Structure 1
Amino acid sequence: MSFQAPALWPEGVIARYATYAAELLQDANVTVDVTTEDLRTAGRCRGCGTSWGNYSCYEHTVKKWAQEHAEKCRALPRPTA
């Protein structure tokens, strides 16, 4: 099985980082997403739900946090069905 990225990113996402869990499970949907909206840059893990960022955060700072978090996060998203 090979790791393939999803075809479309959610609206507003400007960067995406595959988590450690995504690599282990070959699931491209377990990511840390970085968004920018209304001058607010934030990151949110789709695995564990942790988020970080605010109005005073620079985009590169949030991207750095997102990449560091993704490298070690092993959490899986809660099933929806």
Structure 2
Amino acid sequence: MRATTAWPEGVIARYLTRAAELLHDPELTVDVAKGPEKSTATCLGCGIRFSKWAYETSAVKHWAQQHAEKCRALPRPTA
């Protein structure tokens, strides 16, 4: 399965969620972004966010991978 769009600006890691695997939807991911003060993981399925200080990026990546392995949530429809 290949992503159909480019990663958003600032994203340094991306993990495919369980829902993405089941539905073959490469857009259901947990994205990790590193800012000047905080590193943040955001699930594009359920919307949950997790953040730590920027120097703790590895902890945020670890959380993102663990969450992605279990998350079966679908994003809320926009229409």
Is residue 18 of structure 2 the alignment partner of residue 20 of structure 1? yes
Distance 1:67 1:5 in 2: 17
Quote the offset at 1:11 in angstroms: 1.1
Distance 2:14 2:54 in 1: 21
Is residue 32 of structure 2 the alignment partner of residue 6 of structure 1? no
Distance 1:65 1:76 in 2: 19
Aligned to 2:32: 34
TM-score using structure 1 length: 0.89
Tell me the secondary structure at the aligned position of residue 69 of structure 1: helix
Distance 1:29 1:56 in 2: 25
* Number of corresponding residues: 79
Where in structure 2 are there 5+ consecutive unaligned residues?
none
Aligned to 1:75: 73
Where in structure 1 are there 5+ consecutive unaligned residues?
none
**Alignment CA distance shift 1:45-1:57 (3 Å):** farther
Identity %: 54
